[in-house]
Amino acid sequence: MSHSALATNNLEAFWMPFTANRQFKKNPRLFVGAKDMHYTTADGRQVLDGTAGLWCCNAGHGRPKITEAVQRQIAELDYAPAFQMGHPHAFELAARLTALMPSPIDHVFFTNSGSESVETALKMAIAYHRVRGEGARTRLIGRERGYHGVNFGGISVGGIVANRKMFGPLLAGVDHIRHTHDLSRNAWSRGQPENGAEYAEDLIRLVQLHDPSTIAAVIVEPVAGSTGVLIPPKGYLERLRAICDQHGILLIFDEVITGFGRLGSPFAVDHFGVTPDLVTTAKGITNGVIPMGAVFCTSQIHEAFMTGPEHLIEFFHGYTYSGHPVACAAGLGTLDTYEEEGLLTRGAELAGYWEDALHSLRDARHVIDVRNIGLIGAIELEPIAGEPTKRAFSAFLKAYDAGILIRTTGDIIAMSPPLIIEKHQIDQLVTTLRDVLQGLD
């Protein structure tokens, strides 16, 4: 048997996710440290984090309460089985999390990522109808341009073409409503666009096509993040909720990005005043320090499963690391940090300044739209003819060299800084980005 003999500092062995691997390994961008609002690169430069890592480090980096909680937990209890056993921190974290949600959302199922949260919610929705005697409700409805992680259920209900096209027919019995992006009517919107509530009516088309008795759930991101920050038109989410109620369909909000203060409220549920049946979360639940996710559900869904003999498992689903002790400790330290610093609502205080700063780029080179909500923003660029995504990727590389971290999807620049950002750092982000845009071909 032969063995690989790559040096331990060789870049080749790691097949990087969602990365142009060949381009990266010719000129790697390596972070070796992080504190508060900044990353430190391998060559000692400071890079201002304009994306909260990957939408996840909402409280910034290197936060003491989270670090200390993780260190204590590893020394005290490194692992406990999640099946038929428990540990106190899982129950404490679940109680504190549900306290952030409006009634009747009052139960939590722990996962390890946003992708797993989506898979869990989809299974929960189908199983819920089955235990209630409506086993024909197996169809799932997603939305074009939606992102719901990378497992088979998530890419099936998701609607980003590149995430789907290489992986075969995906799950059967899935359909999609149209997306809400409408540059012709809503370009340069500040907050929720005025036009487009009627796009929710596309769900009625699918109800009529498939019959509501076959549909288990509709899943949407309240604000579609990874596709380029698509903000729901005024009245859109309310109309989706009404249609689902009318036809007995569960509504799932994917709040992996919008959860934990990103919109200036604890969750999009609060921000928009629309209560779904299931909410998927991850990322900000532990500030990105330890992988963790969670699915919130209503008491109605939970109680539907709590029937039959008490010694029998009610829901045949879970993960080895569901409610992992170290992840729970990180979650509790994160909630302490959010609470003590008012971070779950700080975005509302900065939203106006953030909005004005972003929209100052309206006249920057190649910009065709700016949109924002809470502490999320998007700068949409005119694509290079015949070379989609190239202009935004060039902006990403130039921004990194200039000392700011941005994110791109297609020809859209997305920004979602940690909630601890100060106004002068917003100015630095936007001023640097303007210089980057002016230098693009």
Task: With beta carbons less than 8 A apart as the criterion, state whether 235 and 219 touch.
Answer: no
The average confidence (pLDDT) of the chain is 97
Determine the distance from the C-alpha atom of residue 326 to the mean position of all C-alpha atoms in its chain, rounded to a whole number. Answer: 22
CB-based contacts of 408: which residues, under 8 Å, 6+ apart? 389, 392, 393, 395, 396, 414
Other CB atoms closer than 10 Å to residue 207's CB: what's the count?
20
pLDDT number for residue 128: 98
Backbone phi and psi for residue 142, each to the nearest 5 degrees, phi listed first: -110, -160
Query: Residues of the chain with pLDDT > 70: what percent?
Result: 99
pLDDT digits (tens, 9 = 90+) for 285-310: 999 999 999 999 999 999 999 999 99
pLDDT number for residue 8: 73
What's the whole-model pTM score?
A: 0.97
Given a cut of 90, whether residue 383 has pLDDT beyond it is yes
Distance CA 246, CA 241 (A): 9
Other CB atoms closer than 10 Å to residue 311's CB: what's the count?
5
pLDDT number for residue 2: 65
What's the rounded mean pLDDT across residues 299-327?
98
What's the rounded mean pLDDT across residues 234-254?
98
What's the rounded mean pLDDT across residues 143-147?
98
pLDDT number for residue 7: 73
Given a cut of 80, whether residue 122 has pLDDT beyond it is yes
Given a cut of 70, whether residue 5 has pLDDT beyond it is no
pLDDT digits (tens, 9 = 90+) for 57-83: 999 999 999 999 999 999 999 999 999
Given a cut of 80, whether residue 334 has pLDDT beyond it is yes
Which two tokens mark 89? Answer: 């921190």
Residue 318 burial by Cβ neighbours in a 10 Å radius (0-12, 13-18, 19+): middle
pLDDT number for residue 290: 98
Domains (ranges, CATH) in the chain?
21-62+343-438 (3.90.1150.10), 67-341 (3.40.640.10)
Q: Of the candidates 207, 202, 257, 206, which has an alpha carbon nearest to the alpha carbon of residue 231?
A: 257
Which two tokens mark 331? Answer: 């979650």
Given a cut of 70, whether residue 34 has pLDDT beyond it is yes
**Confidence grade of residue 9 (pLDDT, cut at 50, 70, 90):** confident
Which two tokens mark 24? Answer: 């990266």
Tell me the C-alpha to C-alpha distance, in Å, between residue 79 and each of 5, 111, 321, 430: 33, 15, 8, 44
**Confidence grade of residue 195 (pLDDT, cut at 50, 70, 90):** very high
**Confidence grade of residue 413 (pLDDT, cut at 50, 70, 90):** very high
What's the rounded mean pLDDT across residues 192-217?
98
